[in-house]
Structure 1
Amino acid sequence: MTSSPDILCIGSVLWDIIGRAETPMRQGSDMPGRITRLPGGVALNIGMAMARFGLTPALLSAVGRDAEGDDLIRACQMRGLVTEYIYRSDDLPTDRYMAVEGSNGLIAAIADAHSLEAAGDKILRPLSDGSLPAPYTGAVALDGNLTLDLLGQMARSPLLAAADLRVAPASPGKAQRLAPFMQARRGTLYVNLEEAGYLCQTTFETSDAAAAGLLQRGAVRAVVTDGGNPATVAYDKTIVTQTPPPVMVTRVTGAGDTFMAAHISAEIRGAAPDAALRQALQAAAAYVSGETKI
């Protein structure tokens, strides 16, 4: 029997193909390094981190019924994730993400989540066919790899009207896909400083200014990060800002997802706003330093 999930992770479940060099890189660099293939995607990264924190996440996504998809499902199950609700497509390939990182951070990345986008609302069938309780009342993590139309539906869906929605854009280029949640005044938005600027159509110098700007634009609750600079949680009249612990950065892909998962996990367990933010920053620092195994 499947364990009752502590959270639904809805969005991209794919293979991360990451090339890393130990030296600084720029456009056009050709450097020696390591190339790895790991389970990834925002929803899956959040789910894997949740599992490391002792919770039981269930995935709602699209994965091809191909060899790469079979490998990915097995990898998810080995990491303690519930996969039975994933839509398996016969004609769509398993999605992939490719990134190049140097010692100076992310150089370039391409996210191929076309199969997830093509699957559309088929990934939500477990919420409408009785496989999962509806309206769902637990925590739900969503990512911006879903289409704008589908995210708009979810922001107003009666199936999720009682859920604790936590939403991340997946990348700065997809930040504006979070606008339906601001318009519907639903959920907690997890964004970095650049993404907050896109959503507010301006630029911000600090995370607390960005969080305040998001609330003014309609967000109910905002969590804004800025790399190694202070991060902020804001809602109602509460603003909590903390500085991440300083660490040597060895990887960056998945750091934001780890932060989000740690923050949600802490709040599910009843942590106060300052304690939840502190735990999330510590978890993200451990991840980027390479201390956390994946």
Structure 2
Amino acid sequence: MTPDILCIGSVLWDIIGRSNAHMGKGSDVPGRITRIPGGVALNIAMAAKAYGMTPALLSVVGRDAEGDELIAAVERLGLLTHTLYRSEDLPTDVYMAVEGGNGLIAAIADAHSLEAAGDKVLRPLEDLDFTGPIVVDGNLTQDLLAGIASDPEFDGTDLRIAPASPGKAERLLPFLTHGSATLYVNLEEAGLLLHGPQPDAPTAAVALRARGLYRALVTDGPNLAACAHPGGVVSSQPRNVMVTRVTGAGDTFMAAHIAAEAQGADHDTALARALEAAATYVSGDTY
């Protein structure tokens, strides 16, 4: 199979504890704990596959039992794994989150193996004659992200950039002057990149474009979302839903937007489809 989208970044196990109860510091409540394939790059790839695309993964997975199980699970989903770097001495990464009825309570991302592998995860690009969208996630090291942003080999490439979390958003600063990168952020992450709080998504998206970014998509939970592009700015209101899960919602939004554009959708339609996909995701049954 030939991929039509490459996803570079974290491929790991998600360990998610969910409860319908509102939670705070020290809460001890009943709920469910699951282990599922995850990571920003993998989440986007899985969603893109569901929308009809053929993703290939560029990341590191250990040659441990957890890694073998993860590879098997990912291949059952129909994703291409021959581009993964399998490390003999690095363990498979893991993400752990606790979600309550009031949203994400806390999360820890152990992506140390991805950071340690560095540019080894990019080696398959040397053998791929690829011109489609390339997803890059902010779990890569700051040096590697800066290298991608400044590498002439990526000039004109359809880069789609995803922050791993608000805590890693500033790693993406080098892409603000990239001539063909599309940045997907929430309002908090946009504020961090712009070094100041932003009042709403359209304002933030336009401000990111003003910094030199080719295109910016900014979401703000249940509030207006926006896409600022070379021709102007479009915005759309998400559908109001009951939130039952949040981990992976931004990845679903991004994958749906990329898939919509691959099918020929214009800026307005692609944004609307992405918001609807995210709304459906967050309102879905818990795992």
* TM-score category (smaller protein): over 0.9
Alignment-mate amino acid for residue 164 of structure 2: A
RMSD: 1.2
Q: Deviations over 1:18-72 (max 9, x none)?
A: 0001111011111110000010000000000011011100000000000000011
Question: For residue 238 of structure 1, what is the aligned residue in structure 2?
Answer: 232
Which stretches in structure 2 are left out of the alignment for 5+ residues? none
What percent identity do the matched residue pairs reach? 64
Question: For residue 71 of structure 2, what is the aligned residue in structure 1?
Answer: 73
1:138 & 1:265 partners in 2: Cα distance?
11
Q: Deviations over 1:245-283 (max 9, x none)?
A: 111111000000000000000001110111101110110
Q: Is the 8 A contact 1:155 1:186 kept in 2?
A: no
Alignment-mate amino acid for residue 213 of structure 2: A
Which stretches in structure 1 are left out of the alignment for 5+ residues? none
Q: Secondary structure at the match of 2:73?
A: helix
Task: Give how far 1:205 is off.
Answer: 1.7
Counterpart selection for 1:255 from 230, 245, 249: 249
Task: Give how far 1:218 is off.
Answer: 1.8
Task: Give how far 1:156 is off.
Answer: 2.5
Q: Deviations over 1:165-199 (max 9, x none)?
A: 00011100111111111133340000000000000
Q: Deviations over 1:110-169 (max 9, x none)?
A: 0000000000000011112x2x12xx3211011000011111111122433342100011
Q: Deviations over 1:201-250 (max 9, x none)?
A: 00012100111111122211000001111100001241111011111111
Counterpart selection for 2:49 from 34, 51, 63: 51
Asked if 1:215 is matched to 2:209, the reply is: yes
Number of aligned residues: 287
Q: Is the 8 A contact 2:8 2:58 kept in 1?
A: yes
1:85-124 alignment runs, 5 A limit:
85-124=83-122
Segment drifting more, 39-48 vs 207-216:
207-216
2:141 & 2:212 partners in 1: Cα distance?
21
Alignment-mate amino acid for residue 44 of structure 1: L
Q: Secondary structure at the match of 1:166?
A: strand
1:1-294 alignment runs, 5 A limit:
3-128=1-126, 130=127, 132-133=128-129, 136-290=130-284
Q: Is the 8 A contact 1:137 1:162 kept in 2?
A: no
